[in-house]
């Protein structure tokens, strides 16, 4: 009897019908998908250098990092200060950056692309916005910054 039960358990394990340890069952993996919504050019004021052949971007800085807005009120990318810096920490103007949002947040952000990229959150929540330099860093990676739009 004991041998028959052991054989039945082994057969079920082999068939994948039962799991020997709780928590080892298959799990659905959650991945965040980012979608590019546009492009912006960095600015840095009069002290900024311009892009030269071989310019590398070591740091991207976007201010403010948290933008609080009422639900239904627009916030535009032009209201942010987007700056880029070279390997020596000097500001560089004119660097192209991609702007991306989470794919699952895109409908709630109600994006518009007239002369500026604007977001008008349809419901309360926190929405991350990514800015990624199209010019590589000295180590050939791409640098970026993230801003959070908090709608209340």
Whether the pLDDT of residue 146 is over 90: the answer is yes
Give the CA diameter of the chain.
87
Predicted confidence band at 12 (pLDDT cuts at 50, 70, 90)?
A: low
- Residue 57, classed as helix, strand or coil, is coil
Residue pointed to by tokens 């926190």: 126
pLDDT in tens, 30-57: 788 999 999 999 986 656 667 778 889 9
pLDDT of residue 60: 95
Q: 47-61, 106-120, 135-149: which has the minimum mean pLDDT?
A: 47-61
Q: Which residues pair with 118 in a beta bridge?
A: 76, 112
pLDDT of residue 47: 65
Structure pTM? 0.76
List all residues 6 or more positions away from 65 whose beta carbon is below 8 Å from its beta carbon: 145, 146, 147, 148
pLDDT of residue 127: 96
Tokens linked to 148 = 């959070």
Whether the pLDDT of residue 13 is over 60: the answer is no
Q: Which CATH number fits domain 27-151: 1.10.4100, 2.60.40, 3.40.1130, 1.20.272?
A: 2.60.40
Q: Which residue has the higher pLDDT, 128 or 16?
A: 128
Domain borders along the chain are 27-151
pLDDT, averaged across the chain: 85
Whether the pLDDT of residue 2 is over 90: the answer is no
């Amino acid at each position: 009897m004991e041998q028959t039960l052991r054989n039945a358990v082994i057969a079920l394990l082999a068939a994948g019908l039962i799991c020997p340890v709780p928590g080892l069952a298959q799990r659905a993996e959650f991945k965040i998908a980012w979608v590019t919504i546009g492009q912006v050019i960095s600015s840095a004021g009069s002290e900024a250098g311009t892009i030269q052949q071989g310019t590398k971007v070591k740091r991207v800085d976007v201010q403010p990092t948290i933008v609080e807005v009422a639900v239904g009120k627009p916030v535009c990318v032009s209201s942010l200060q987007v700056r880029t810096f070279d390997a020596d920490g000097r500001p560089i103007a004119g660097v192209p950056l991609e702007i991306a949002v989470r794919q699952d947040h895109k409908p709630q952000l109600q994006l518009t692309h007239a002369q500026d990229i604007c977001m008008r959150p349809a419901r309360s929540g926190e929405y991350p916005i990514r800015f990624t330099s199209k010019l590589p860093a000295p180590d050939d990676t791409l640098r970026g910054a993230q801003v959070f739009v908090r709608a209340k």
